[in-house]
Chain A
């Protein structure tokens, strides 16, 4: 590891992408993620890469499809309204089985919304967002170091499974600076025999396409694709357990709110309340098994998120509604203080939940 430097989360993503071998960045500026584009504009020419500010988010995602077809590592980044514009292209990437990294540094919505941090694109990232049967691998960093590490991981997973990996961050993580060490990752050697690299008249042409007019062919393709998704669910779940050994209340939180939750958990434990946290690092695949196991140990769950309650549905499904799940949230760009989360912990502790 190199000596730590202070970097913004957005810059850490950009630098990590370059170190991961990404040489094509196609984007369009939007607050609060513009530093990614600015960093790429500065760095890409120095590593013989391509930085291109497209005429729109829609143009950028379609350029991503083009680069991905050739097997090159490619990324785009945006913030909530911009990701909505990209969503058609995301479905096409899924339908063509193309790897790409897409970064969403979320801001408040819906509509043009605001520019302050939010996690209200959880449904969009996890539950489709665009048309058709498909999944994205969704990674949720909670520090600037993870912004870098999960960018590298995202490229590797995208290549390995030929699918979209999305970094679901928020304005706070994008804008804040923390110490980060970024070193060159070991080169991941994913063969891409499917890529459109020119046949040299030596092989049959590869075809990248998402159109299947015969319904039985489309059904077969979708079923095959879901076998791949099942492998991802089996092998790629990542989460952090925080003070869960003896926890009676289980907070579930990702990204920036998980850090606020940690402060609240420390304060709760000082008052004798046994709180802990499961922090999903992959939102898809969701850490269902860990949560279900926690349902046998804990009296209640608290989902802490920056939206009107989106991940809470997945928590309830994962624990099969064995225990009550409470919501602790702010939305629209507002962020709860550790005191707000502590108040919720105390309230839930008092009403008790179900017996373990």
Chain B
């Protein structure tokens, strides 16, 4: 990731949108970048849609609000409807194709469809669809070492929960190696 990455993650509350964002922000921090993480904290997070702005940059972060993402991760249809047009031309959209059945309408962006919720169910990691789609994003956006992933997981998952580290790592790998 050279320059600045403006990432927006969006989905339902409970899908782990904020956690996936925290993973990306920490990965940026551990690889020596400037980062910011800003959640939605309105009534929507109490059972509705959740979203999260993450900026990873070589320069100090100005506004932490991502209004024109170059990378969009969406895990439900209302989020795709809401943010599809906000993506900058040439940007990347990552779609959970289990939960979003329509295609992206934009033709000037790069789109990746990952059935992350289905993959999570099949691999008995029901709550980790967020990390699967994030793994795919890390692969496609590039710029990170695989070692950064382990370091990041060590940082954000409590040491008392070793089993969670393993399964988060496995979920990210699933997404990272997923062939469309």
Q: Residues of A at under 8 Å CB distance from B?
A: 4, 6, 31-32, 115-116, 171-172, 175-179, 256, 259-260, 262-263, 266, 335, 337-338
Q: A4-B29, A31-B41, A115-B42 known; A338 and B63 CB under 8 Å?
A: yes
Give every chain A residue within 8 A of B1 (Cβ-Cβ): none
Further contacts, 13 of them, CB under 8 A, given A260-B65, A337-B63, A338-B62: A4-B29, A6-B37, A32-B41, A115-B42, A116-B42, A172-B65, A175-B41, A176-B39, A176-B64, A259-B63, A263-B62, A263-B63, A337-B67
Q: Is the Cβ of A259 less than 8 Å from the Cβ of B41?
A: no
Q: Is the Cβ of A177 less than 8 Å from the Cβ of B63?
A: no
Q: Is the Cβ of A176 less than 8 Å from the Cβ of B63?
A: no
A156 to chain B, nearest CB (A): 26
In the assembly, what is the distance between CA of A4 and CA of B25, in Å?
13
Q: Is the interface of B mostly helix, strand, loop or mixed?
A: mixed
Give every chain B residue within 8 A of A337 (Cβ-Cβ): 63, 65, 67
Q: Is the Cβ of A172 less than 8 Å from the Cβ of B38?
A: yes
Give every chain A residue within 8 A of B42 (Cβ-Cβ): 115-116
Q: Is the Cβ of A178 less than 8 Å from the Cβ of B35?
A: yes
A259 to chain B, nearest CB (A): 5
Q: A32-B41, A178-B37 known; A259 and B26 CB under 8 Å?
A: no
Give every chain A residue within 8 A of B26 (Cβ-Cβ): 6
Q: A32-B41, A115-B42 known; A259 and B62 CB under 8 Å?
A: yes
Q: Which residue of B lies closest to A177 (CB)?
A: B37
Q: Is the Cβ of B65 less than 8 Å from the Cβ of A179?
A: no
Give every chain A residue within 8 A of B35 (Cβ-Cβ): 6, 178-179
Q: Can you list 24 residue pairs at the A/B interface with Cβ under 8 Å?
A: A4-B29, A6-B25, A6-B26, A6-B35, A115-B41, A115-B42, A115-B43, A116-B42, A172-B64, A176-B38, A176-B39, A176-B64, A177-B36, A178-B35, A178-B37, A178-B61, A179-B34, A256-B63, A260-B62, A260-B63, A260-B65, A263-B63, A337-B63, A337-B67
